[in-house]
Amino acid sequence: METPITRIPRGDQRPVVALVAHDRRKDEMVEWALYNKGTLSSCTLYATRTTGLTLQSSIETPIHLLLSGPMGGDAQLGALIAEGRIDVVVFFWDPLTAQPHDVDVKMLLRLAVLHDIPIACNRSSADYLVSSPLFAIPEKYREDRNRAGPNYAPWARYRPHGRG
Active site residues: 74
What is the enclosing helix (H) or strand (E) of 55? Answer: helix 49-59
How far, in Å, CA of 40 to CA of 33, rounded? Answer: 7
Angle, nearest 10°, between helix axes 26-35 and 123-131? 30
The dihedral formed by the CA atoms of 93, 99, 100 and 104, expressed in degrees to the nearest 10: 40
* Contact in structure between 142 and 8 (CB atoms under 8 Å): yes
DSSP state of 32: H
Distance CA 89, CA 84 (A): 12
Q: How many residues does the chain have?
A: 164
What is the SS3 assignment for 149? helix
